Amino acid sequence: MDPGILQWLRKEMADCLFATVRAMPQVPVPPESYDAGRNQYYSTKILKEMLKEVPEDAFKILGVTDKDLCIPILTYVFGEAQLGGTAAVVSLARLRQEHYGAAPDRPLLLSRLRKESLHELGHTFGLIHCPSRDCVMYLSNTVAEVDGKGRTFCRACMTVVTSQTGAGRE
Ligand SMILES: [Zn+2]
Ligand SMILES: [Zn+2]
């Protein structure tokens, strides 16, 4: 992981969730999550390992990786989260223009990473997919769909998040 991207994301998540967000030291991806046949990593196994490393004072934990993620029934995932749980993980691998044979585009990569990070964290707050295209919780299976949806939570989804973070309380 590019530490610059991680620090950028840390600040974005703090600003958007009105929460204190800390970056943890980088750790290797758990080797048992790797599938040599697919040359991909099972996100569910990564989440399981992450749960062992949750700091005592942490409310949520987001893993960020360059590795290409998958689950058994899908050829790839941008990320995965525990619905209403603690842990979420996102991958940069398929958010990069290079993956599609195009020239690198850092602003676009960061925009996608921000959306997918909020999306997966949204699932940890118990949010399911939102019917509004303007909402970051809208289902996006392709980068075109990621690019087409809104950059943050709609009002209804944001209310669910802030009711748990305590943001906006007097
Ligand atoms: Zn989702
Ligand atoms: Zn929504």
Q: Is residue 85 part of a domain?
A: yes
Give residue 122 CA to ligand 2 midpoint distance, Å: 9
Which segments of the chain are extended strands (E)?
A: 34-35, 40-42, 61-65, 69-71, 74-77, 79-81, 87-91
- Give residue-wise pLDDT tens across range 13-34: 999 999 999 999 999 999 999 9
The total domain count for the chain is 1
Give residue 135 CA to ligand 2 midpoint distance, Å: 5
H helices within 18-52, ranges in order? 43-50
Q: Is residue 170 part of a domain?
A: no
Q: Is residue 31 part of a domain?
A: yes
Q: Percent of the chain having pLDDT more than 90?
A: 95
Nearest to 137 by CA among 118, 113, 111, 155: 118
Q: What is the CATH number of the domain that holds 105?
A: 3.40.390.10
Q: Is residue 128 part of a domain?
A: yes
What percent of the residues of the chain are helix, what percent strand, and what percent coil, each to the nearest 5? 40, 15, 40
Give residue 134 CA to ligand 1 midpoint distance, Å: 14
Alpha carbon separation from 138 to 3, 11, 116, 135, 157 (Å, rounded)? 28, 23, 10, 6, 11
Q: Is residue 21 part of a domain?
A: yes
Mean pLDDT, rounded, for 157-167: 89
Task: Provide the pLDDT confidence category of residue 170 given band limits of 50, 70 and 90.
Answer: very low
Q: Is residue 35 part of a domain?
A: yes
Rounded CA separation 89/80 (Å): 5
Question: Has 120 been annotated as catalytic?
Answer: yes
- Give residue-wise pLDDT tens across range 73-97: 999 999 999 999 999 999 999 999 9
- Which residues have a beta carbon within 5 Å of ligand 2, which is an ion? 130, 135, 137, 154, 157
Q: Does residue 169 surpass a pLDDT of 80?
A: no
Mean pLDDT, rounded, for 122-129: 98
Ligand nearest to the CA of 158: 2
Rounded CA separation 18/147 (Å): 24
Rounded CA separation 80/37 (Å): 21
Ligand nearest to the CA of 137: 2
**pLDDT at residue 165, as a whole number:** 86
Q: What's the domain range around 102?
A: 3-165
- Give residue-wise pLDDT tens across range 139-151: 999 999 999 999 9
Ligand nearest to the CA of 79: 1
CA torsion, ordered 87, 106, 35, 32, to nearest 10 deg: -40
**pLDDT at residue 167, as a whole number:** 67
Q: Is the overall model pTM greater than 0.85, yes or no?
A: yes
Selected catalytic residue, list 49, 80, 120, 145: 120
Q: Is residue 47 part of a domain?
A: yes
Q: Is residue 137 part of a domain?
A: yes
